[in-house]
Amino acid sequence: MPDLGKIYARALQEYLESLTQDEDVPTRRKRNLLVSFAELQYKLHGGSRCAMCNTPVRHVIPVMTEGLDGSEVRYPCLCTRCLEAEKITAKRVVLKIGEATVEYVGAGRDYKMGSAAHPELRPMRKVKRAAAG
């Protein structure tokens, strides 16, 4: 006897793919479809770990980032914190499962990590704390 869970999962996957075939699907709806499918995959197979920081990830969605220099990096999945960091620093971030694709075009800020302090930052003043009493 066939496993009904796999049959239902395949049917739902085909349904979600048929919803995304329309080219006029708004970004919010595409994102909801991706998250719905990722939740289904979580229920069936469990989660994974973030490719950057090794944090547990519930929704496993492959991510492709394009840097300012045109280099592409592909991740099997990212946690929310790492995904948001990539959105800010990368030129483009693409989340894709099957035909459903959500693309974020970032500001592409070029952060320079160096030993010099930021010019607008000043040392903090020492504050005397009142005795607790």
- pLDDT tens, position by position, 115-131: 555 556 566 666 676 66
> Would you state the pLDDT for residue 51?
92
For the residues 63-81, what does the mean pLDDT come to?
A: 92
Residue 21 CB neighbours (<10 A)? 9
Inter-residue contact 67 to 49 (CB < 8 Å): no
> Would you state the pLDDT for residue 117?
53
pLDDT at residue 63 above 90? Answer: yes
Q: List the one residue out of 71, 76, 84, 74 whose CA is nearest residue 59.
A: 76
What's the CA gap between 91 and 50, in Å, rounded? 21
Mean of all residue pLDDT scores within the chain = 77
User: What band does 65 get if pLDDT is binned at 50, 70 and 90?
Assistant: very high
